Amino acid sequence: MSDTLVSSDWTRGGDRIVFQHCQSCGHVFYFQRSFCPACGGAEPRQSVSGGLGTVHAHTLVQRAPSDEFRAITPYAIVLVDLAEGFRVMAHGDPSLRIGDAVIGRIETLAGRPLPYFNKVPDVC
Ligand SMILES: [Zn+2]
Domain boundary among 48, 63, 85: 48
Same domain, 69 and 43: no
Using the mean position of ligand 1's atoms as its centre, give its distance from the Cα of residue 36 in Å: 5
Q: How far is the CA of 103 from the centre of ligand 1 (A)?
A: 27
> Is residue 92 located within the same domain as residue 113?
yes
pLDDT at 31 over 70: yes
Predicted confidence at residue 1, as pLDDT, reads: 47
* Strand order through the sheet with 45-48: 28-29, 18-21, 45-48
Task: State if pTM tops 0.85.
Answer: yes
Could you give the CA distance from residue 4 to residue 63 in angstroms, rounded to a whole number? Answer: 37
Same domain? 35 vs 58: no
CB 80 within 8 A of CB 90: yes
Distance 70 CA to ligand 1 centre (A): 40
Domain span at residue 91 reads 52-119
How far CA 61 is from CA of 44, 88, 104, in Å, comes to 35, 17, 19
Low-confidence winner among 30-34, 89-93, 97-101 (lowest mean pLDDT) = 30-34
- Cα–ligand 1 centroid distance for 38 (angstroms): 5
- Is a pLDDT exceeding 60 seen at residue 2? no
* Ligand 1 midpoint to CA 28 (Å): 8
